[in-house]
């Protein structure tokens, strides 16, 4: 017996039904981005590891545990190539490589494509998944934060995710973050034993990250600390309150979540997550925030920016049962195989009108062809028999109305084409 292959763990195949949902989500999303003034970019799946090590942070889960290295071809100069784990650092690499800040002080981009993380696969956590991402570079305005948040929610609304919650927090400026990190380092140093294994390591290197650890023991410890509101300076606090008022003015409901920190180092100021109860323990549909120091960190000028990413697989999970994809409109059936050339000519004519149509390629009997047409969901069957071929006409069978009539081919096509009518 030959070995039967199956897909790699943590990857998923999209069936025609899922692919059709995937297409309608991304199609609708592109239209919304156009309305909001974001321009699409398509960037490679391969990047130098440094983009993420420096950008996302070397003590983050993404870099420490989840980067997918790619083997280099023999003889090539040594550089660490990885499959991209996220889009933000990559978009910033693109922005800097092309010195886009010289062309204009403000840019808005979006991208749709696969990301890769070497995760332990579980429901909602994949090794290859797809992001819809937006990045707006060149502004520190809270109006931009508000636009991005409302844009992310609008996309989810429009693709049909009705129930979702927006959670929001502020991490403050870089110096607020650093101060709070040091404070947490001190607190956790004496309580290390109560933390999960991952957080014991984070306690010294990335203590902020402990705040949104999902492990029960860590949650318990954090709640016992009564940290209260985020520790940010007066200016950052005012900025955050102004943002929250803006959201309220836009009728956007939010939950203030003081422990929301996100697992990536580059975030500063506002961070947010959009969650759905339909998703189980991995409940984020998407997330985003401001990353005012990332561009400088990657060697560029001091430029403020913000963005978000939504997970397409998570959206599909939240949508639950999928609608059937569109069925074909017309089927060309032949009374016997000598009429196949006629059927092919008719099929070509109907397809040229943009009507989805199909014929039989498996030598089925006429009866079996009609059954097959029904299975395909065809509304009309065009039957070509010897008599019809002689009279230069066809029999058009309306499968819904159980009615059939002899017509010229042009008349039949007109009837099939008439989508609105009966």
The residue written with tokens 């391969």 in the block is: 46
When the beta carbons of 63 and 236 are compared against Zn ion, the nearer one is 236
When the beta carbons of 163 and 191 are compared against Zn ion, the nearer one is 191
Binding-residue total with Zn ion (CB under 5 A): 10
When the beta carbons of 120 and 323 are compared against Zn ion, the nearer one is 120
| Region 169-228 residues binding Zn ion, contact defined as CB under 5 A | 172-173, 176, 196, 199, 213, 215, 218
* Least gap, CB of 222 to Zn ion (angstroms): 9
By CB neighbour count within 10 A (0-12 exposed, 13-18 middle, 19+ buried), where does 141 fall? middle
* Least gap, CB of 241 to Zn ion (angstroms): 13
Three state DSSP letters for 194-257: HCCHHHHHHHHHCHHHHHHCCCHHHHHHHHHHCCCCCCCCHHHHHHHHHHHHHHHHCCCCCEEC
* Least gap, CB of 220 to Zn ion (angstroms): 10
With CB under 5 A as the contact rule, which of the stretches 137-145, 229-237, 300-308, 407-415 interacts with Zn ion?
A: 229-237
* Least gap, CB of 260 to Zn ion (angstroms): 15
* Least gap, CB of 196 to Zn ion (angstroms): 3
H-assigned helices in 48-141: 49-55, 61-65, 88-97, 100-103
Q: CA 264, CA 287: separation in Å to the nearest integer?
A: 11
> Which x/- pattern over 105-134 shows residues binding Zn ion (rule: CB under 5 A)?
------------------------------
* Least gap, CB of 15 to Zn ion (angstroms): 37
The residue written with tokens 């040229």 in the block is: 352
Burial of 5-26, coded b for 16+ CB within 10 Å and e otherwise, reads eeeeebeeeeeeeeebbbeebb
When the beta carbons of 49 and 196 are compared against Zn ion, the nearer one is 196
Contact 271, 284 (CB under 8 A): no
CA angle 98, 103, 106 (to 5 degrees): 100
When the beta carbons of 213 and 343 are compared against Zn ion, the nearer one is 213
User: Does 233 sit near Zn ion (CB under 5 A)?
Assistant: yes
With CB under 5 A as the contact rule, which of the stretches 13-21, 234-242, 288-296, 339-347 interacts with Zn ion?
A: 234-242
When the beta carbons of 41 and 236 are compared against Zn ion, the nearer one is 236
Nearest to 203 by CA among 212, 215, 214, 191: 191
By CB neighbour count within 10 A (0-12 exposed, 13-18 middle, 19+ buried), where does 163 fall? exposed
* Least gap, CB of 213 to Zn ion (angstroms): 3
| Region 158-177 residues binding Zn ion, contact defined as CB under 5 A | 172-173, 176
| Region 235-264 residues binding Zn ion, contact defined as CB under 5 A | 236
By the criterion CB under 5 A, which residues form the site for Zn ion? 172-173, 176, 196, 199, 213, 215, 218, 233, 236
């Amino acid at each position: 017996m030959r070995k039967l292959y199956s897909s790699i763990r943590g990857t998923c195949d999209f069936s025609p039904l899922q692919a059709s949902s995937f297409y309608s989500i991304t199609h609708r999303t592109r239209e919304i981005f156009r309305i909001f003034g974001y321009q699409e970019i398509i960037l490679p799946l391969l990047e130098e590891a440094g983009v993420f090590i420096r950008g996302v942070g070397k003590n983050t889960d993404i870099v420490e545990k989840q980067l997918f290295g790619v083997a280099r071809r023999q003889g090539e100069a040594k550089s660490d190539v990885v499959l991209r784990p996220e889009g933000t650092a990559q978009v910033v690499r693109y922005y800097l490589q092309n010195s886009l800040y010289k062309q204009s002080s403000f840019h808005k981009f979006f991208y749709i494509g696969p990301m890769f993380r070497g995760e332990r696969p579980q429901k909602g956590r994949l090794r290859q998944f797809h992001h819809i991402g937006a990045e707006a570079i060149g502004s520190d305005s809270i109006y931009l934060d508000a636009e991005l948040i409302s844009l992310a929610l609008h996309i989810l609304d429009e693709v049909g995710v009705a129930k979702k919650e927006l959670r929001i927090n502020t991490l403050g400026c870089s110096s607020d973050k650093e101060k709070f990190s040091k404070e947490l380092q001190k607190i956790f140093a004496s309580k290390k034993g109560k933390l999960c294994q991952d957080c014991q390591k984070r306690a010294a290197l990335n203590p902020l990250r402990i705040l949104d650890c999902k492990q029960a023991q860590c949650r318990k410890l954090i709640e016992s600390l009564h940290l209260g509101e985020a520790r940010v300076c007066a200016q950052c606090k005012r900025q955050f309150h102004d943002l929250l008022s803006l959201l309220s003015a836009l009728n956007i409901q939010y939950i203030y979540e003081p422990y929301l920190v996100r697992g990536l180092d580059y975030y500063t100021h506002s961070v947010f997550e959009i969650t759905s109860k339909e998703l189980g323990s991995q409940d984020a549909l998407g997330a985003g925030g401001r990353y005012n120091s990332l561009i400088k960190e990657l060697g560029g000028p001091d430029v403020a920016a913000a963005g978000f990413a939504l997970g397409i697989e998570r959206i599909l999970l939240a949508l639950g049962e999928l609608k059937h994809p569109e069925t074909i409109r017309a089927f060309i059936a032949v009374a016997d195989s000598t009429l196949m050339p006629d059927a092919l000519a008719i099929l070509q004519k109907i397809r040229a009108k943009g009507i989805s149509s199909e014929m039989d390629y498996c030598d089925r009997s006429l009866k079996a062809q009609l059954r097959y047409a029904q299975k395909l969901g065809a509304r009309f069957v065009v039957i070509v028999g010897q008599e019809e071929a002689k009279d230069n006409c066809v029999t058009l069978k309306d499968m819904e109305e159980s009615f059939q009539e002899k017509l010229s081919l042009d008349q039949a096509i007109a009837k099939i084409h008439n989508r609105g009518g009966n």
